[in-house]
Structures are given as structure tokens and as C-alpha cells.
Amino acid sequence: MTTSTADGVGFRSKRGPVLIALMLSTGLVAIDATVVATAVPSIVQDIGGFASFPWLFSAYLLAQAVSVPVYAKLSDTIGRKPIMLIGIGLFLLGSILCGVAWSMPVLIAFRVVQGLGAGAVQPMAITIAGDIYTLAERAKVQGYLASVWAVSSVVGPTLGGVFAALGIWRGIFLVNIPLCLVAGWMLVRSFHENIERVQHRVDYLGAGLLTVSLTLLILGALEGGQAWAWDSAISIAVFAGGALLFAAFLLVERRAAEPVLPPWVVSRRLLATTAMIAFGVGAVMLGLTSYVPTFLEGALSTSPILAGLALAALTIGWPISASQSGRLYLRIGFRNTALIGITVTVIGTAVLALTASVPSVALVAGSCFIVGLGLGLVATPTLIAAQSSVEWNERGVVTGTNLFARSIGSSIGVAVFGAIANAVYAGTPHGETDPQTVVAASCAVFLAVLIAAVLTVVAVIGMPATKPVKQVHAAARE
């Protein structure tokens, strides 16, 4: 194993091409998370399946979430580069297939392939950054990666709208082809790692049980109260089946020679609390992402573009604070930095919840910007704290677990917030078409988001007060 020379973080540094490749790869996932939404009417008009279109998002999210722990474990076994290239390849294949889909069920199936690729790309990008950059540099690098999401939050919906307006919705998937090829080529050319070839035993049974059990549990959380009632027979069966298979997974992991999700991931206080924090971050972020545009469009009849720009303030605030968080955690520690961040997040969500009864685009955008600033000071330091507490051969699992917790938080958060909103809509005759009802439902959701932020404070307080060690070189296998 060799070390990287600390020659700066910019694009012109020796590691610049790798950073560009990581940003391109992250951009694939980030844009795809938003570009489909604005093209849904055109897709439905062309291939039908209006009743099934929510699965375009659910299937993608399920595939991405359940595959993250498996990829994370494999990356600690065979290296980051092969897993990253596999992820890019699957995403490329899924994009091509989606671009030629002839029906909604087929398109949904191909979205699963895309999701399996995204499940490798996002965590591997963050893990590779943790490998090749020093502790002091990682916050700035995370700011670069977070800025990709900020740009994508504006570019994605706009690009989807343009393709939809031109009547070529398939272009939203086919545009990924050159991006995938460039990202893969740059990664092959610029990123080199030296892996110690050791015979490993792959935990196929554990991986299978984890995938199926989490699929059922996330499926139940996503579709409960939507596709079926929470207390229906199918809902109970889905949750019960998922719980039983997850219990079987825990038993298998106890005896596995190389478990896909080692017990130490949840037994170490730092890793457990940072995963809980990631769960809260996921719930808060997707709660706002899902309901801010609906709130503004339904309450004020604002255009989708203006509503999207108000929400974009959140993803603009995040990279600003994330890139500067290194200066804080190197001085005052990871937990204190996260405490500042979660306090700012609570303030932002409180302002949004308290002012939602008097709708205002400016107030919503300002609140989202404050929340984004807070989340950047929470998500980045806690993730880096978790990464810095382990060696190379454990960093993939730790990063994957953190991002997996964020995905689960997003899934469950959306399910809970959706149930709250639907309960409000169900109590009025005009439902979501009545501006006053939209305001009432949004107020209830934003209050729930505030509660999620306050609960995350507890997890941050429970985080051990570890101080970062100032590294001169990054432990990267190049």
C-alpha cells in the first residue's frame, strides 16, 4: 500500500482526473434522481401505465438501497475500482434499456437495473474519496461531490422538461450513455489501486437474505397507505415476511466466515450513532424534497420551475457548508460540528413549519437554504468521522452502511410523511385540489420533518466526542 501526495484538491492536482471521474459518476445518479419526474406525463402519454408510474421511482429506490451493503462489502474484498466500474456498467445498460422500453412494466423493470448500478456508484465515489484524500481534505472533496447534487437539482428537472416538451422523453435516459463512457474511461485511466489478493468466502446466503428482507420492508414502507391500506392483509404479510427474513439474516451473519454486514458495524458506538444520524438526514432531506414543490404549486399556483428553484436552495446550502466543515471539525471535533449543524437544521425546519400557514416562495427558499447549510455540517463530518475510525479494508462497509441508513431514512420518511398528508387530504371533499387543504397538509408534514430533525439531535448528542487526527497523507491503495 502506498500513500497519496497531498498536492491539493483541485482539478489540476494529480488526483484531479479521479475527482472529475467521481463527480461525473455522482452526477449520473444525481440527475437521474430528478430528471424523470418532469417527464412522467410524456412517458405515460406514449406508453401508458398511469396507475403504475410511481413504481418508476419506487423500483429504482428499492434496487439502489438494498444493493448498497452488498457492494460495500465486496469493495473491501476486491477493491473499489471494480465495483465502481460494475456500477457504471449496470447504470449504462439500464439507461440504454430504459431508452428503448415499450411499456410501463418493462420500463419499471429496466429502472431496477439502473438502481442496481446507482447502488454501487454513489457509495464507491464517497469511499474512493475517503481513500485518496487526507482527513483535512475530505470536507472540501465532499463539498465538490455535494455541489454535483446542487447543480443536478436544477439541471435535472429542466433537462427532463426540455426532452418532454420536444416529445423525446427517451433522451433523458440515452443522454447517460456518453456520461457513463467518459466517467468509466477516466476512472480506468486515472485511478489505480493495489489490492492484496487474498482468498475470500463470499457470503451469498447473507447477501440474498438481506436483499430480499430489505426489499420487502422498504416496499411495505413505500406502498403502505398508497397501494394498500396499512392494516391490510398484504401489508401485514409484506412486513412480517421482511422481518422474518431479516431475523434469519442476523442468524446467518453470526456464523458466516466473512459476513456481508459484520456485527461490529452496529456494535461500535461511533458507527451506530453516525448511522442513526444519516437516517435522520435522509428523512429530513427527502421530506422537504418531496413536499416543498407540491406545497408551493398547490398553495400559490407557482410554476414547477419556480417551485424547483425554491427547493434548490436546500441543495445549494449543503455544498457550501460541507466544503467548509473541515475547518470546524479539525478545530472543535466531529460531534461539536455536527451539533452546530443539527441546531441550524432545527432552526430552518422550525421556520418552515411555523410560516407554512402563510405561504411565501421567499420564506420557503430561505428556510430550505438554512436547512441545507445545517445538513452540510451534519452529514459530512459524521460520515468522515465514521470513515476515519476504520482502516481501508473496513471503510467500504462503513461508508455503505452510512449511505444505506440515509436511504432507509428517506424511504421510511416519505412513507410516514405521505401517510400524514393523505390523512389530511382524506378529511376534505376536494382533497389536494383545494389550496387551503394543501396548506394544512403541508403544515402537518413540515411539523413532522421538524420532529425528525429534533430526534436527530439526540443521535448527535449520543455520538462519541472523538477528535480527528491530522493526517499528512491519505491512506490510499494506489
- Tens-digit pLDDT profile for residues 430-448: 666 677 888 888 899 999 9
pLDDT of residue 276: 94
Total residues found in the chain within this entry = 478
Per-residue pLDDT at 51:
57
Over the stretch 260-273, which tens digit does the pLDDT of each residue have?
777 777 788 899 99
Cα–Cα distance for residue pair 143/131, rounded to 1 Å: 16
The domain made up of 12-196 is a member of CATH 3.20.20.150: no
CATH, domain range 262-466? 1.20.1250.20
What sign for the dihedral angle of Cα 153, 155, 158, 162?
negative
Q: What is the pTM of this model?
A: 0.78
Burial category of 472 from C-beta neighbours within 10 Å (exposed 0-12, middle 13-18, buried 19 and up): exposed
Question: Which has the higher per-residue pLDDT, 335 or 41?
Answer: 335
Cell of 85: 466500474
Q: What percent of the chain has pLDDT over 90?
A: 21
Question: What residues have CB less than 8 Å from 256, skipping those under 6 apart?
Answer: 203, 205, 206
Can you read off the three cell numbers belonging to residue 354? 411555523
Q: Are 403 and 276 in contact (CB under 8 A)?
A: no
Which residues are CB-contacts of 76 (< 8 A; sequence separation ≥ 6)? 392, 393, 394, 395, 396, 397
Mean pLDDT value across residues 63-73:
80
In this chain, the answer to whether the domains covering 12-196 and 262-466 adopt an identical fold is: yes
> Exposed/middle/buried for 294, CB within 10 Å: 0-12, 13-18, 19+?
middle
Domain residue ranges of the chain, discontinuous segments joined by +:
12-196, 203-257, 262-466
- Give the C-alpha separation, 263 to 279, whole Å: 18
Phi first, then psi, for residue 248 (nearest 5°) are: -65, -35
